[in-house]
């Protein structure tokens, strides 16, 4: 009686992975070839003088200013004036303290800061 053929799981795995890799390579090459007209068109548009001029202008201008958002807890801090919060108003910070967070400076929009200040004046503590 002859011994059964020795299984070679590692060799089988390597062959499967090689076949898988070849399948992925073919799919990627086919995808890139399908996309070639679009890539060529985008390259042509990017090279247009007016596009290049706009890119130089934006680069010279620098990044847009970072816009912060208001972190006021309107419903807690000024519940009577909830609708006043304005993300596009100038921002400031309001100093707050709680047992949970300790001292924190909260980014706050102008209207919320004014409402908070008014509340503190009218009901200190
Ligand atoms: Zn608010
Ligand atoms: Zn606000």
CA of 112 to the centre of ligand 2 (A): 4
Give the Å distances, CA to CA, from 33 to 30, 68, 81, 82.
Answer: 5, 43, 59, 56
pLDDT at 63: 80
Closest Cα to residue 72, out of 110, 106, 123?
106
CA of 91 to the centre of ligand 2 (A): 9
pTM (two decimals): 0.46
What percentage of the chain exceeds 90 in pLDDT?
60
Q: How many CA atoms lie within 13 A of 100 on its CB side?
A: 0
Contact (Cβ atoms closer than 8 angstroms) between residue 72 and residue 106: yes
pLDDT digit string, tens, across residues 111-121: 999 999 998 88
Distance CA 110, CA 68 (A): 12
State the ligand closest to the CA atom of 96. Answer: 1
State the ligand closest to the CA atom of 81. Answer: 1
Mean pLDDT of the chain: 89
């Amino acid at each position: 009686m002859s011994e059964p053929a020795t299984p070679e799981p590692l060799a089988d795995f390597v062959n499967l992975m090689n076949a898988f890799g070849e399948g992925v390579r073919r799919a990627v090459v086919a995808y890139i070839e399908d996309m070639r007209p679009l890539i060529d068109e985008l390259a042509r548009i990017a090279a247009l003088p007016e596009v290049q001029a706009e890119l130089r202008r934006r680069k010279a201008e620098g990044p847009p200013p970072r816009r912060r958002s208001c972190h006021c807890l309107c419903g807690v801090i000024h519940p009577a004036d909830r609708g006043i919060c304005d993300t596009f108003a100038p921002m400031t910070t309001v100093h707050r303290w709680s047992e949970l967070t300790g001292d924190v400076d909260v980014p706050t929009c102008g209207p919320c800061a004014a409402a908070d200040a008014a509340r503190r004046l009218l009901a200190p503590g």
